[in-house]
Structure 1
Amino acid sequence: MGTQTAERTGRRIRIKGLVQGVGFRPHVWRLATDHGISGSVRNDGEGVEIDAWAEADRLDRFLAAIRSEAPPLARIDSISFKDLSEPSPGTAFEIVKSVDGTVSTGIVPDAATCPACLADIRDPENRRYGYAFTNCTHCGPRLSIVRAIPYDRANTSMDAFPMCEACRSEYEDPGDRRFHAQPNACPVCGPKLWLEDKTGPVDCADPLQETARRIGQEQIAAIKGIGGFHLACDALNETAVTELRRRKRRPVKPLALMAASLSEIRKYCRVTPAEEAQLKSAAAPIVLLEVQGEPLAPFIAPGQDRLGFMLPYTPLHHHLLAAVDGPLVFTSGNLSDEPQAIDNDDARGRLSEIADVWLMHDREIVNRLDDSVVRIDAPGPQILRRARGFAPAPLVLPDAFQESLPVLAMGGELKSTFCLLKDGQAILSQHLGDLEEAATHAEYRRTLALYRQIFRHDPKVIAVDCHPDYLSTQWGEALARETGARIVPVQHHHAHLAACLADNGIAPGEDLSLGVILDGLGLGNDGTIWGGEILLGGYRGFERKGHFLPVALPGGAKAIREPWRNLVAHLTAAFGPGYLASVPSGQLADALRAKQLPVLDKMIASGLNAPQSSSAGRLFDAVAAALGVCFDKQDFEGHAGTVLECLARPYLASETPYPLAVEQGEQASISWEPLWRNLLADLASGTDTGRIAARFHLALIHGLAETVSQISASCGVERIVLSGGVLQNQILHEGLKRQLKCKGLNVLSHRHVPANDGGLALGQAVIGVLSGG
């Protein structure tokens, strides 16, 4: 027995996941040295491969340590091994050269500055003291600088900066945390920082200090970061904030904020432990926090009760925030609706009417990355925008997807993303924006081409939204003609359902669920516009089991921008052509009579440019308009709904829901006449608008929970899936999940991708696999 225990054996170990560019090979080298293992470790197209020789029990402990002590940015998806018959080639353990091959390993997302690098830049004795581009294998740029796989310096924008002798020594030392850190650099050999104004370069000893000084003088600075330019100003200065809004043409949409520390954020917001964890995570997203404490400048987030704060996530940001007095507005460097500037010349041009100074550097941003946005709901973190810090980390799908054909899913029209699916992994792109904007569409196409090149993805199936006018659909059809791939059209709300199932790791064959899908709009199977849906199904198909009462969208796209139109349509649906008689005299009646109601009435009656829609988003717009919120127009998608939510929040515990009408049948139909009758009566009696907003939210929660519970019982399905952009309303999401769980149902929410159209491509991709594979 003793002789067998001492016998050395060999294993070839395969590790898959996010294991390249994160210090994984030196991690393995150190563990092997500690455990007395001989052999080698290498990168290849599938991840990391280890050949290891030692006694069996040592190898077992070595494998356990690899998993339990992984580097901070690593994500191990699987570890497998097979025995090696050949003897060990020696007693040493070596890191050997990467082996190229079929790509199935992921690119790690850009990561916030780690504590060790932060200590370096704050240490006057360190050679990187104050250096704005300090990083190591545990932090720094990744996706933002990469052009190809394998993730080596030559395949990044750091290839323009040859390493000095000191950096090269770190890079080649397996015992150093900068071993094979591809963006490794220092003030001697790395990227440089400078300041410009409208006349050219600014002569100053320290560009960061001078930028801070200019911000203190009410100037607006364009700051080149890791994934794009930001526009920054003093968040405590009303004049500066107002001027930034005027120049950026962003009248009311909330502005993001950056503060130097958690203690600084706590001056203005309540921060729970879960929110703190998100703020301090490697992703370092914008986190929506409850307003509490000292006031900031007015107009940071008009009508909202949450502020979007983030902490510094690069050395540049740490130094800048340390040099200013208080938090900064830190909003994307663009005019409203345009893509964020990433190129120096583009920023000089497009931001010339907004910025007073430009803090520039000479490291190229290859991939634009907006800041991610997260909110902590009672069920857990909700990613509202998935970009920097999260993308393009692959999502591991159930085993049934492992052998699928390569699929490309094109996403939707708004909050667009695309998805590459191959080898059981889904690579969802970063948030790209609204394709109706020409520059965003161009960026979408460029980024898609880059991802296909980086991941060597040759799709055999291309999944698109059923709406023929979506630019993503049209581009998918063009790519299908070019590549010979099969086109799979996917109904919009079916994609939402499938996205949430995949996001929760539900396997095909176990996926039958009831989906509550609430959003603005999507083309339905019957040719009408859907948006308030209860669907029974899974990846392979669905049946519509319930919906909101279809109501006209007078003016089509105009009805999305002008909530009063939806109010007229809903009042007409509830009370008929004489709806004005039901509106109490006063401000609302006067506002309606000031509009061209006869024209709108004819549109609704004839159906001319007034398609029928079950949209949940337009219902929120109608109620908001009735309360005087965004009556004439809303300035950004979801504007009216978010203000309505904030009005309701203080009154939820004390109010009761309005009644709804539910007509049961083959498809349950939820209609609104009782709600409107009670709401208008409350308006007539002078009830506070916040109480009315709360009663409306509670009506939706109660009515949907009851309806879904009844359908669930009749179908024998106990899993409920919540998806769609309207379910990013925190009151609705938390309340509906709580009531459904109280009824004994199993409720799934999104976990890793947005419930809005930012997650749509994931659903299209998994449907495409099963439809086209």
Structure 2
Amino acid sequence: MKRKQITVNGRVQGVGFRPFVYRLASEHSLTGSVSNNEQGVIIDVQGRSPDIDMFESALATRHPPLAQITELSSTDLDRLNHQEDFVITPSTSGQQHSVLISPDACICSDCAGEIIDPQNRRYLYPFTNCTNCGPRLTITRSIPYDRPMTSMACFEMCPECLNEYNDPMDRRFHAQPNACPVCGPQVWLTSNTGQKLAENNEAMLHAAKMLVQGKIIAAKGLGGFHLVCHARINRAVDNLRRRKHRPGKSLAVMVQDLQTADNIAYLNNVQKKILSGMEHPIVILPVKKPFPLSPLLSPDTDNIGLMLPYTPFHMVLFHHLRTISPQDMLPALVMTSGNFSSEPISLGNREALKRLSSITDLFLFHNRDILVRCDDSVVFAEEHCPVFLRRARGYTPTPVFLARKGPCVLGTGPELKNTICLTKDDQAYVSQHIGDLKNLETYEFFQEIINHFSDVLRVRPKAVIRDFHPDYMSSGYAEKTGLPVYQLQHHFAHIFSVMAENKFQGPCLGVAIDGTGLGLDKTLWGGELLLVDNTDLNMKRLGSFSPIPLPGGEKAIEEPWRIAVSFLRKLDVNRDKYPQGLKMMGQKLEIVHQMLDKNINSPFSSGCGRLFDAVSALLGLTQKIDYEGQAAILLEKIQDRSITEFYDVQSLESDIFLTLDTISLFEQINTDLMRQILPEIISRKFHLGLSHGICKWVMQASEKTGIKTVGLSGGVMQNMTIFQTLAKLLADNGLNVLVHKQLPPNDACVSLGQAVYGQRLLESA
């Protein structure tokens, strides 16, 4: 006989770990106890030595589906106890804890089966859950994850639910959101003025009928409100776009199952696995032709963002939709964030009624409070290399595990696609997508998340790292904290981030290609070749794209034709040889020429995104954008993928600085256009040429420095043509290529780079 104490750290609370341990101990005839505390799960176990060995082995390999073990340690105890059974003891808490907070998890197959079973007491109940599924982050106020610390605290369990909750052999043992129609949250439908129309199942049925009739509904979901309409009805989609002020950007669609998804888009096994996995993100997929849904859903691309129902609420809605829809009407619903463009997703009932009543025809409310806003995650599920566009529900707040421990630091992120990052030992907690910090509502959300993460992690940062740009709201927040504040230039933060994700330590070349970030020379960077050593914080700019003036500054980003003109002026192209689309600008064109001549409000930019904008405008694809990246999206869409030719892009060396000659690249494009080469061919030659040019650029730097590792980061890495082509070319040339696997390559990763830089900075002080 022997006795051991086993401590299990990680995501082990609120995921059914204690009942799992209880069943495992019973299986191996062991006595003792299991409890939660701030350090994780503490197991005191006693029995025959071989049984304890088998118990420990099973503990590490057979844990519950939502659990994630990061550390398992055991200590032999000298004294045996006289306990005759194995018990689960109540949770305790303290000021410090090393427990991972669980993300929200999609509905499990057991709960899904109960919802469609007419004999089950939870038949069509939209808040069904168990320890293997359901809300976590979005209803959690504090740690430990117990019911009083969640928004379910106000719902007193009925006797049947309480029996399940207290039974270690039941899968709802200590399922904190446990509820049923008798004692749990309820749903109701109202007009857009708040007048109640129906309750509970009648509300869900009536909502489905209204969707089939082309109405728009604001539905309260897991992490906020969705704006919902039928994806087959052009009129509904068009109304949603107009009312939401979202004219061109793609809309996500929820479909009932994988079979329906397969009717709409091309799916490989990797994409099917991610679509139906625990996280249930939106997956970007190539559409099938003829496209069976509204063409207004994704006008700028040949892709569509699809997701499957991830809550019982969605399942019930689709159940009713199937029963009332015409046979030829594929059940598919637009599910887009419940907000106006640029605002955070609406969270509370009163807030939604105030903010969304001009967009929606009806509201589908419920009375379970959402404590933390959380949008849907979006991912490209490419073979071997998923790429995040937005990381939120299902993934947050799973930490990025770092190569080493360090002090607690806060990274406040950039202005666009903002996230924040708090570090704790060797874990970096990057928040869900917050959005663009350009208005008070998003800034308040930003502050909410910093406060919430600090509270649930029980940490207080020793320093704050902000972007080099002093006028960002995130920079202003940092300066007001009263803590030591340090700056890190935007593109260096990108490379620190991709190195951190890959636990790479040492010198690394970095390709940071995006739209804009204030450079150390006060110009606008965005096409950068960098050297970063995260062990001694050595940072150097080795090269950039050719800098080009942006006539009108921010206006040039909104109107890409201005950047095309800037390139043409660099090439001394006569105005009468401009493409017709530029000539039609008339007086505006004259003003832009004067701005360039007199250097009025025309800051220089080396941004890769600005190059895409200029090429797109030159080819006549767009002269004015509705959303960030639209010009580049249109340019990638039209390329003729059968073409293998590419433009020759060279790098020019001056004083050891390597400039990628994008002006010469633009000249080749303009020459082809004047020769009336098709835009589809030009686009393909541009994408391939830029990829090959960047590869040669990096190889030149590698030869000079002897560094054989390169990190790829920046929003342009969301262009799948550039990303896949460049990563393969670099690997084929013998380099160790680091890419983002846990965070988006866009600005959402910047806060992680800031935070890990801050850790090293404090350690070296």
What TM-score does the superposition give when structure 1 sets the normalisation length?
Answer: 0.95
Give CA-to-partner distance per residue, 1:308-333, whole Å, 9 cap, x none.
00000111101112222420111111
Give the structure 1 partner of residue 328 of structure 2.
none
RMSD between superposed Cα atoms in Å: 1.5
The whole-number CA distance in structure 2 between the counterparts of 1:55 and 1:464 is 56
Give CA-to-partner distance per residue, 1:215-243, whole Å, 9 cap, x none.
11111111111111111111111111111
Give the structure 2 partner of residue 354 of structure 1.
359
- Cα deviation for residue 685 of structure 1 reads 2.6
Give the structure 2 partner of residue 587 of structure 1.
580
- Cα deviation for residue 494 of structure 1 reads 1.1
Where do 1:251-650 residues align within 5 Å? 251-295=247-291, 296-324=293-321, 325=325, 326-398=331-403, 400-401=404-405, 404-479=406-481, 481=482, 485-506=483-504, 510-539=505-534, 540-573=537-570, 575-576=571-572, 578-580=573-575, 583=578, 586-592=579-585, 594-631=586-623, 633-648=624-639
The whole-number CA distance in structure 1 between the counterparts of 2:637 and 2:474 is 33
Give the structure 1 partner of residue 649 of structure 2.
660
Change in CA separation of 1:42 and 1:330 when aligned onto 2, cut-off 3 Å: same
The DSSP-based 3-state class of the residue aligned with 1:380 is coil
The whole-number CA distance in structure 2 between the counterparts of 1:450 and 1:511 is 33
The whole-number CA distance in structure 2 between the counterparts of 1:89 and 1:464 is 57
The whole-number CA distance in structure 1 between the counterparts of 2:611 and 2:542 is 20
Counterpart of 2:743 in structure 1: which amino acid?
Answer: V
Counterpart of 1:261 in structure 2: which amino acid?
Answer: D
The whole-number CA distance in structure 1 between the counterparts of 2:371 and 2:401 is 26
The whole-number CA distance in structure 2 between the counterparts of 1:355 and 1:684 is 48
Give the structure 1 partner of residue 218 of structure 2.
222
The DSSP-based 3-state class of the residue aligned with 1:76 is strand
Alignment partner for residue 129 of structure 1, among 123, 130, 145?
123
Contact map agreement 1:515 1:721 (CA 8 A) in 2: yes
The whole-number CA distance in structure 2 between the counterparts of 1:241 and 1:674 is 43
Counterpart of 2:3 in structure 1: which amino acid?
Answer: G
Counterpart of 1:232 in structure 2: which amino acid?
Answer: V
Contact map agreement 1:406 1:420 (CA 8 A) in 2: yes
- Cα deviation for residue 339 of structure 1 reads 1.2
Counterpart check, 1:247 vs 2:243: yes
Give the structure 2 partner of residue 732 of structure 1.
722
- Cα deviation for residue 538 of structure 1 reads 2.8
The DSSP-based 3-state class of the residue aligned with 1:157 is coil
Counterpart check, 1:19 vs 2:12: yes
- Cα deviation for residue 589 of structure 1 reads 4.4
- Cα deviation for residue 579 of structure 1 reads 4.8
Contact map agreement 1:412 1:757 (CA 8 A) in 2: yes
The DSSP-based 3-state class of the residue aligned with 1:116 is helix
Give the structure 1 partner of residue 58 of structure 2.
65
Contact map agreement 2:158 2:183 (CA 8 A) in 1: yes
- Cα deviation for residue 68 of structure 1 reads 0.9
- Cα deviation for residue 53 of structure 1 reads 2.1
Change in CA separation of 1:158 and 1:242 when aligned onto 2, cut-off 3 Å: same
Give the structure 1 partner of residue 39 of structure 2.
46
Give the structure 2 partner of residue 3 of structure 1.
none
The whole-number CA distance in structure 1 between the counterparts of 2:49 and 2:599 is 76
The whole-number CA distance in structure 2 between the counterparts of 1:59 and 1:382 is 42
Change in CA separation of 1:425 and 1:673 when aligned onto 2, cut-off 3 Å: closer
Give the structure 2 partner of residue 687 of structure 1.
677
Give CA-to-partner distance per residue, 1:74-104, whole Å, 9 cap, x none.
1111111222222234232221111212122
The whole-number CA distance in structure 2 between the counterparts of 1:347 and 1:217 is 23
Counterpart of 1:157 in structure 2: which amino acid?
Answer: S
Counterpart check, 1:720 vs 2:706: no
- Cα deviation for residue 582 of structure 1 reads 5.0
Tell me, which stretches of 5 or more residues in structure 1 are unaligned?
Answer: 1-7
Counterpart of 1:192 in structure 2: which amino acid?
Answer: Q
Which is further off, 387-396 or 660-669? 660-669
Give the structure 2 partner of residue 4 of structure 1.
none
Where do 1:231-246 residues align within 5 Å? 231-246=227-242
Contact map agreement 2:253 2:307 (CA 8 A) in 1: yes
Alignment partner for residue 138 of structure 1, among 132, 150, 174?
132
Contact map agreement 2:186 2:367 (CA 8 A) in 1: yes
- Cα deviation for residue 267 of structure 1 reads 1.1
- Cα deviation for residue 524 of structure 1 reads 1.5
Tell me, which stretches of 5 or more residues in structure 2 are unaligned?
Answer: 326-330
- Cα deviation for residue 567 of structure 1 reads 1.0
Give CA-to-partner distance per residue, 1:576-603, whole Å, 9 cap, x none.
4x553553xx5234235x2523332333
Report the identity percentage.
Answer: 42
The whole-number CA distance in structure 2 between the counterparts of 1:57 and 1:495 is 51
The whole-number CA distance in structure 2 between the counterparts of 1:66 and 1:160 is 34
Give the structure 2 partner of residue 180 of structure 1.
174
Alignment partner for residue 756 of structure 1, among 746, 752, 761?
746
What TM-score does the superposition give when structure 2 sets the normalisation length?
Answer: 0.96
- Cα deviation for residue 349 of structure 1 reads 1.6
The DSSP-based 3-state class of the residue aligned with 1:519 is strand
Change in CA separation of 1:595 and 1:56 when aligned onto 2, cut-off 3 Å: farther
Give CA-to-partner distance per residue, 1:193-231, whole Å, 9 cap, x none.
111113501146611111010111111111111111111
Change in CA separation of 1:212 and 1:764 when aligned onto 2, cut-off 3 Å: same
The whole-number CA distance in structure 1 between the counterparts of 2:709 and 2:576 is 44
The whole-number CA distance in structure 1 between the counterparts of 2:618 and 2:477 is 40
Counterpart check, 1:74 vs 2:72: no
Contact map agreement 2:3 2:46 (CA 8 A) in 1: yes
The whole-number CA distance in structure 2 between the counterparts of 1:354 and 1:469 is 32
Contact map agreement 1:418 1:761 (CA 8 A) in 2: yes
The whole-number CA distance in structure 1 between the counterparts of 2:307 and 2:105 is 13
Contact map agreement 2:114 2:120 (CA 8 A) in 1: yes
Displaced runs of 4 or more, over 4 A: none
The DSSP-based 3-state class of the residue aligned with 2:381 is strand
The whole-number CA distance in structure 1 between the counterparts of 2:306 and 2:280 is 10
The whole-number CA distance in structure 1 between the counterparts of 2:707 and 2:750 is 24
The DSSP-based 3-state class of the residue aligned with 2:152 is helix
Aligned length: 748
The whole-number CA distance in structure 1 between the counterparts of 2:22 and 2:14 is 15
The whole-number CA distance in structure 2 between the counterparts of 1:638 and 1:215 is 31
The whole-number CA distance in structure 1 between the counterparts of 2:229 and 2:214 is 7
Contact map agreement 2:582 2:589 (CA 8 A) in 1: no
The whole-number CA distance in structure 1 between the counterparts of 2:642 and 2:633 is 19
The DSSP-based 3-state class of the residue aligned with 1:267 is helix
